[in-house]
Amino acid sequence: MIKIAPSILSADFAYLARDIEKIADADYVHVDVMDGQFVPNMSMGPMVVSSIRKATNMFLDVHLMIVEPIRFVRQFCEAGADLVTVHVEADTEENIHAALDLIHSMGKKAGVVVKPKTPAEAVLPFIDKVELILVMTVEPGFGGQSFMADMMPKVAALRKLIDEKNPACELEVDGGIDPVTARVAVEAGANVLVAGSSVYKAADIPARIRELRG
Ligand code: DX5
Ligand code: ZN
């Protein structure tokens, strides 16, 4: 089954609860956390996640675009994240392992993310222990960018590795997903689709979520 994870980066932050209600038909709420250092933009921290947690029972998929994520994973888990993903580029292999172990020790799901220039093999040290792998289909930092179709061989390679090594693991794509690129990503092997602008700019959001699901 294809899951849809609207990114609230495209919501109105002054009306987050209202904008999360608008995506009640989706599967996950995708929460983009940016520190102004790992990516050239800032968004929200654990306090905002904690407020979101009080406003919805939906599954919170928290995408950490921050350096040395181990410093903050505990706070995000305590704030109510259901899944926390960390970038493999954001720290040493040892510290990424430690971050994933800490997330699991708090009873949450853990995942790893790869930026466009990072090869599929970079997830191999972690593939046995994660519940989700996220492939960026834009350079992280901003919503509303164009889908990088040249990431599809990487998605296909990761689908193959997941099927061999950890078939329960989910494969998520993030960036530039609309009803057309959604089909391309699913064809390549993705099963969770993050979509920000395409969901929040739609006149009929529930209809757009159905279209994305295909
Ligand atoms: C980009 C974020 C994405 C972004 C996607 O750094 O990780 O989640 O919000 O936005 P769209 O769907 O507009 O490309
Ligand atoms: Zn994201």
Segment 159-181, tens digit of pLDDT? 999 999 999 999 999 999 999 99
Residue 28 C-alpha to ligand 1 middle, in angstroms? 14
Residue 61 C-alpha to ligand 2 middle, in angstroms? 9
Is the pTM value of this prediction over 0.85?
A: yes
pLDDT of residue 72: 98
Q: What is the mean pLDDT of the chain?
A: 98
pLDDT in tens, 70-114: 999 999 999 999 999 999 999 999 999 999 999 999 999 999 999
The answer to whether the CB of 9 is under 6 A from ligand 1 is: yes
Active site residues: 32, 174
Residue 156 is encoded by which pair of tokens? 């296909």
- Nearest-atom number in ligand 1 for the CA of 139 is 6
> How far is it, in rounded angstroms, from Cα 115 to Cα 128?
20
Q: How far is CA 142 from CA 21, 22, 80, 137, 178, in A?
A: 23, 21, 24, 12, 16
The mean per-residue pLDDT over the stretch 1-13 comes to 98
Instruction: Give the β-pairing of 132-136 and 109-114.
Output: parallel
Read off the pLDDT band of 35 (50, 70, 90).
Answer: very high
- Nearest-atom number in ligand 1 for the CA of 195 is 12
Read off the pLDDT band of 158 (50, 70, 90).
Answer: very high
The answer to whether the CB of 141 is under 6 A from ligand 1 is: yes
Q: How far is CA 95 from CA 78, 126, 177, in A?
A: 20, 12, 31
> How far is it, in rounded angstroms, from Cα 87 to Cα 133?
10
